[in-house]
Homo-oligomer: A and B are copies of this chain.
């Protein structure tokens, strides 16, 4: 019986696959060579998960891998109709990013409440100017996205004493239905977007929704850039209809140097790093190896994406 072929859409640094030695034939592809290599692999590891090369190469000729794993939470860059309609199983990196992103959101909430950006700017100017912080305990948050990331964000905000509502597609215990979102936005001090990017969620934070928020509300996006109408957000910030915002994700990444987003008052820009803590690539590689061993043994895979919905459904 011949070893299966694992095709890796590579990125620097490459995954450590040593444990799979002798059990798999590993081929490395880049964006250009991916299309020609796809027909010869049973498994595709989209190690360069920032690439949309799979979406572009998948519809071509020939057989396709039976399993595609992306070491990311979101699968929006990956999915195309042909992959969605195929029998190929898609898995994601559930379990790796939840806790780091929740800490990152807590960092943003606390930093904005205590005006750390203002403090750092005043320090740069060598100016001592006392200001009053905002209390965080007792404030209210709406977390949009009821997957494991949204829920872990909510837990971490609750640990800070923030009264936190989670909003998903449909109502479940502990989760508000999408119909409740507008009402929750009107009462929220913090709105955190941690939703998957799908046709149903694209552009969900638009001018109308920013208008529902209060001038004291702060908005945080750790989901995907296209969930937010960036122009509408900028307008709300400039007109002081919103107290502040922090974006970790953008329509275009990296954010171009000439983007107006870099210096909108009250807007904190970070380079898509909320989930990435020291050792994250190793953890992603280990997770893939574990999944590979299940697959090899013919066992059911965890983290299977509902391709039509565009995320891994929660079972509860």
* Interface membership of A17, Cβ < 8 A: no
CB distance from A82 to the nearest CB of B (A): 31
User: Which of A82-137 touch B at CB < 8 Å?
Assistant: 99-100, 103-104, 106-108, 110-111, 113-114, 116-117, 119-124, 126-137
**A160, B106: Cβ atoms under 8 Å?**
yes
Q: Per-residue 0/1 for A243-269: is the Cβ within 8 Å of any B Cβ (1 yes, 0 no)?
A: 000000000011101110011000011
A123 contacts across to B, CB distance below 8 A: 262-263, 268-270
Closest 9 CB pairs of A and B: A107-B110, A128-B254, A159-B159, A126-B262, A107-B114, A128-B271, A126-B257, A123-B269, A119-B270
Question: How many angstroms between the C-alpha atoms of A271 and B255 in the bound complex?
Answer: 33
Interface size on A, residues (CB 8 A): 54
Binary B-proximity of A146-166 (CB < 8 A = 1, otherwise 0): 000000000010011000000
Which residues does chain B contribute within 8 Å of A103, judged by CB atoms?
110, 113-114, 133, 135-137, 160
For residue A241, give the distance in angstroms from its CB to the closest CB of chain B: 20
Complex alpha-carbon distance, A132 and B283, angstroms = 13
Min CB gap A102→B, angstroms: 9
Assess A132 versus B271: contact at CB under 8 Å? Given A103-B110, A110-B110, A126-B257. no
Contact B120 A273 (CB under 8 A): no
Contacts of A278 in B (CB 8 A): 132-135
Other A-B pairs, 9, CB within 8 Å; known A119-B271, A128-B255, A130-B276: A103-B137, A114-B273, A116-B117, A123-B268, A129-B271, A130-B271, A131-B271, A131-B273, A132-B279
Interface residue A295 (Cβ < 8 Å from any Cβ of B): no
The CA-CA distance from A160 to B105 in the complex, in Å, is 12
With A132-B278, A132-B280, A133-B278 in contact, do A116 and B106 touch (Cβ < 8 Å)? no
Contact B160 A277 (CB under 8 A): no
Which chain B residues border A129 with CB–CB below 8 Å?
A: 271
Are B277 and A135 interface neighbours, CB within 8 A? yes
Q: How far is the CA of A291 from the CA of B276 in the complex (A)?
A: 50
Separation of A119 and B246 alpha carbons in the complex (Å): 11
Is A272 interfacial (CB 8 A cutoff)? yes
- Taking the closest CB of chain B, its distance from the CB of A197, in whole angstroms, is 19
Looking at A100, A110, A122, A127, the one whose CB has the most chain B CB atoms below 10 A away is A110
A-B contact pairs, 21 of them (CB 8 A): A99-B137, A103-B110, A103-B136, A111-B116, A116-B117, A116-B268, A119-B269, A119-B271, A122-B271, A123-B268, A123-B269, A123-B270, A126-B259, A128-B254, A128-B271, A130-B273, A131-B271, A132-B276, A132-B279, A135-B278, A156-B160
